[in-house]
Structure formats: structure tokens, C-alpha cells
Amino acid sequence: MREEFDINVCYKKVFEMLGNEGTIEKMVCDIAGYTGTRIVVVDIGGKILSSSDENWDMEPALGRRQSEAILGLIAGYIETQEEEAPEDFVLLEEEEGLKAIRRIVVKGNTEGFSIMELPSGQENGRVTRQSLCQANDILCQALGMLMERYGHRVYYHASALRRMIARSLFDGDTENGLEIKEIRSMYDTYVLPRFVVAVLEMREYNMLKIQKAANSLADEYSDSFIYIKDGRIYVLFSGVHTKETEKRIAPVLEGICRMYDFCCGVSEAFEDIGLVEKKHFMVSRALEIGQVSDPERRIYPEYDYYIQIVCSCAAACIGRARYLEKELLELKGEDQMKGTCFYYTLKEYLLNGNNVSMTSKKLFIHRNTMIYRLGKINEILGVDINAPEVSHCLLLSMILQEAEKIVHSA
């Protein structure tokens, strides 16, 4: 005969675990084993941190359905809490069984959720509704202590709802997430067009400054969704519905970059929330390219580096099969041997639309010097660099060469 349920045993188990440097996984499995429940612990965006069910990842299709169900439960929980429910937990009775949902709090911030399920057919009076909620409460308090101890948290003061949305945008599958009714409802309510995406990175990593910068961004532009990962801050500015609102974003980002020594890639304003993933990629790539090619700048707008972004995507496929690869390398070799600047001159000439006057002014050289250099470049390459089809291919080839180096260095 199974022993009678005693809530004090749950206290004892978590205290022993906290005193013996236990892990989240061990704590979850111990409490699940004693209570006869299934427990899933997830972070703020629904990513599974631990599960008492060892077969969770055995079937990808089943795992995806379960993940979607978890996101739906969390979204419903947050919506209930936003409506100032008197209790800090939600108890649901579903076909699968009773589910107790509660948030895990670290220093006042919601850092995750515990979902404790008593499977249908196992309700024999040993674990009551009240004791199920009590056990989950004890577990959440202990998990909060473990998360603080082991660093499973990010301290910045955006609401749990905004952080959950931000994580689903920047560290998840946005399109699949939008198929979940509860997630779709949250997006429709809080994520309003138009949008701007920004990615910020510190020149010298300092987590405290990253957190302060995230807080400053949230204070300066309240309708933003901020996610911190791998030393970067990912931001979606929402509700950018006028030019005046869009103009507010640039000085906010410039101020953050100056104050905390960040560099930042930033997109143009766009309408379709489904483009966030692509904009995220393009802005991140603009940041990486800009840091190498223009280290004196702090802000790297997406379309200032559009050609370089496109070429960086093609660089790995094309490799050294670039147009006039051998001749361009010879041009570089000539510069190295004789101290000339033919390669750089050619690039600036092509970027300035083959305009001699504009290029000579930019390079601070006399027009005649410019004409002499172009003659030598034509001679070395053996082509007419002013022919439109040649100049276009040459410029792409040069950018592809540089993009390959940037991709490798990144």
C-alpha cells in the first residue's frame, strides 16, 4: 500500500537538494517521483529546461505537439496574471489530467514556469488539488534559488509577457509559434506594426552593462520586445506607425551605444511580423560586416550594407570562382610590391558609379592622378573597366572577396 502523501516530504527533498548542490533535473525528478506527477520546467519563452518524462524527445512530432501545448498553457497563465488574478497559480482540469501551473521567480523577475500534471486515472485521493498546487509552489521556490545560483536568469525589468514574446521572436520558430491560438492572440494584442529590428553587441563584454542597456532601452521605448542571448541584445521596436516614431529610435540607439560602448545593426521599418527572422539575420550580418569594414562607426543600418549582406550569403557557394579572381589578386600583389593603391582606387571608382571627379575628391587626389591610376588598372586587368557589364561584375567580385573574409572572421 502506498504511503500517505505528506507535503513536508516535498520540503525535505528540496532542502536536501539545495544543501547538496543539486541540479534542476534531479529536483524535478525527485518531486515527480514522490508526488506521482509529470513535471515540465520551461524558461520564459517556453524552452524546456527539465522534464520528468524521459521519453519527451523520443518522437519529434509528439514533442512538437507537446511544446505547442506548453506554450498555450503559459500564454493562458500569463493572460490570467495580467488580469490580476487573486492566486499566483493556475489549476486546469483537462482530458489528460489536472495541471498546476506556476511561475518561477528570481529577484522579482519571472524566469520560467513549472507545469505539474497529475495524469487522468491517478487521482486516488493521495494527491489532492490543494496538495498538487502546494507541491508545485515548493518546487518553484526551490527552482528560483537554483536558477539564481547557477545563472539561469537575466535581470532586466521587462514584463514576463514582453520577454516571452521577445524570446519567441528571436530564439524560436516565429511562423510555427503564430499557429498556436494563444500565442497568435498575444501577438495580435501587443505586437503592433510597423516594426524595426536592432541587434546590439558590446565591444568589450560586460553582462552587467548589457542588462543596464536593456533596461535603458525598455525605459526609453516602452513598446519594445527585448531578448538577451550570447552577449547580444535583440530588440523589436513595435508600433512604429509614423515617421516621427521611427525617427525616435535612432537617437535612442545612438545614446545606448555611446553610454555603454555598443555597436548596433538596425533595420528599416517594415510591416510584416513574419519578416522578423529574416530582418534579424540581415541586421546581425550588417553588424558583423560593419564592425570589420567600418570599425569607427557605431550604428550599421541594414541597407547601407545590403550588397555586402547579399554577397556574404553567396560567398561560400561561389568561393574562388569569382569574376577575374586571378587578375584582381595580381592587382593586390602590385599594390603590395610597389606601394600603390590600385585595388582600393578601383573599388572606390566602381562604388562611385565610375565617376572620375567624385572618386578623386573622395580619395583626396588630383584628377590627373586618378586618370593615370585607372589606365594602369585597365592594363593590369586586361579589360575595359568602364564597360557596364564589366564594372558590375568587378564590383560584385571585390565585395565577394571581402565578404568571404568577414564570414570566416565572424
The pLDDT of residue 328 is: 92
Q: For residues 27 and 14, is the Cβ–Cβ distance under 8 A?
A: yes
pLDDT of residue 156: 46
Q: Give pLDDT tens digits for 179-221.
A: 555 556 667 777 888 999 999 999 888 877 888 898 889 888 9
What CA–CA distance (Å, rounded) separates 265 from 289? Answer: 10
In which residue ranges of the chain is CATH 3.30.450.40 found? 7-150
Beta bridge partners of 290: none
Q: Cα–chain-centroid distance for residue 103?
A: 23
Neighbours of 247 (CB within 10 A): 10
Q: At what angle do helices 60-82 and 181-190 cross, to 10 degrees?
A: 40
C-alpha cell at 156: 532586466
Q: What is the CATH number of domain 7-150?
A: 3.30.450.40
Give the per-residue pLDDT at 155: 46
User: pTM, whole model, 2 decimals?
Assistant: 0.62
Domain with CATH 1.10.10.2840 in the chain: 320-409
- 122 CB-near residues (< 8 Å, 6+ apart): 36, 97
Radius of gyration for the alpha carbons in the chain, expressed in angstroms and rounded: 28
The CA-atom distances, in angstroms, between 122 and each of 20, 27, 29, 37, 125 are 32, 22, 18, 9, 9
- Residue 46, CB-side half-sphere exposure with 13 Å CA sphere: 32
The pLDDT, as a whole number, for residue 197 is 97
CB neighbour class for 206 (10 Å; exposed up to 12, middle 13-18, buried from 19): middle
Side chain identity, residue 13: K
CATH 3.30.70.270 residue spans of the chain:
160-313
Specify the CATH superfamily of domain 320-409: PucR C-terminal helix-turn-helix domain (1.10.10.2840)
| Cell, residue 135 | 507541491
d(CA 76, CA 101): 10
- Residue segments in the chain with a per-residue pLDDT below the cut of 70: 1-2, 21, 45, 54-67, 79-87, 121-125, 151-160, 172-186, 406-410
160-313 to CATH, choices 3.40.50.300, 2.60.40.1510, 3.30.930.10, 3.30.70.270? 3.30.70.270
